[in-house]
Structure 1
Amino acid sequence: MKLPGDIAALAEETIAALKAKGLTISTAESCTGGLIAGALTAVPGSSSVVYGGFVTYANEAKIGMIGVPFGLLRQHGAVSKDVAMAMADGAMGAAGTHIAVAVTGVAGPDGGTEKKPVGLVHFALATEDGTRHLRKQFSDLDRDGVRHATVIEALKLVLKAARA
Structure 2
Amino acid sequence: MTRYYTREKRRLVELTEPDPGCWVHLAPPFAPDELDEFARRFDFDPAFLTDSLDLDERARYERDGDVRFVLINTPVKNKNASTENEAYFITVPIGILLTIEHVVTISAFETPVLEKFLANNVRDFNPADEKRFVLQMLEQNVYHFLSCLKTLNLRRNRIEK
TM over 0.5: no
User: Going by fraction, where is helix more abundant, 1 or 2?
Assistant: 1
User: Going by fraction, where is strand more abundant, 1 or 2?
Assistant: 2
Task: Please identify the structure whose Cα radius of gyration is greater.
Answer: 2
TM-score (norm 1): 0.30
